[in-house]
Amino acid sequence: MKNKKIFLELEDDEAINIGLIRQAKRLPDYEMFFEINKLNSFNFCRINDLKYKKFNFPKFETYHPETKTCYHIVANKSIPIRKKTNNELFSQAEEIKFLMPKNKDVDFIIYAKDSIADFSLILLPENILFQIQNFSLNPLTELYKLLQYYE
């Protein structure tokens, strides 16, 4: 008797909506999130970094009790890695990676575990951050797969 091969037809994943956050004023992460937390009833806190290859991206999380939504904010720019070289002239060189290399002006990426996320519920300090820009993330992109992996 011959074995029948069964192939599963996987449905294409749907695009997810993320938000792009740009800083109007450069502040360290802890100061920026302190200002955000002052304006909202929920608090963002830092959790384990998102790790991609040898790079670490700071990650923050909060839970919105009214909508029962968990929001995540990830830095677009990695924490600098110091290159080890024998030449002292270049010993302080740093290697940096971006999650969205085409959007280097984006400082943070916000997304929710729910497919329908309303980022307008998060109050942002006007003098520090610009409004969140909605962005649709294609399932074929590397960032999409990375965010799905960390969910």
The predicted-structure confidence for 12-70, as pLDDT tens digits, reads as follows 567 888 999 999 999 999 999 999 999 999 999 999 999 988 899 999 999 988 888 89
Rounded CA-CA distance 112/55 in Å is: 22
**41, part of any domain:** yes
Show the tokens assigned to 147.
Answer: 């965010």
Q: Domains in the chain: how many in total? A: 1
In a domain, 6, yes or no: no
pLDDT of amino acid 5 = 55
Flag whether 100 is in a domain.
Answer: yes
What residue numbers bound the domain in which 47 lies?
31-149
Note whether residue 120 is domain-resident. Answer: yes
User: Higher pLDDT residue, 62 or 144?
Assistant: 62
Q: Per the domain annotation, does 13 fall within a domain?
A: no
User: How many whole angstroms from its chain centre is CA 103?
Assistant: 13
2 occurs within a structural domain: no
- Whole-number pLDDT of residue 130: 93
Quickly count: other Cβ atoms within 10 Å of residue 75's Cβ: 21
The DSSP 8-state label assigned to residue 142 in this structure reads H
Q: Does 11 or 127 have the greater pLDDT score?
A: 127
Residue 124 lies in a domain: yes
CA–CA gap between residue 83 and residue 81 (Å, rounded): 6
Output the pTM of the full model. 0.81
Give the residue with greater pLDDT, 6 vs 44: 44
User: Distance between CA 97 and CA 29 in Å, rounded?
Assistant: 17
**Rg over CA atoms, the chain:** 19
Residue 43 lies in a domain: yes
pLDDT at 71 over 80: yes
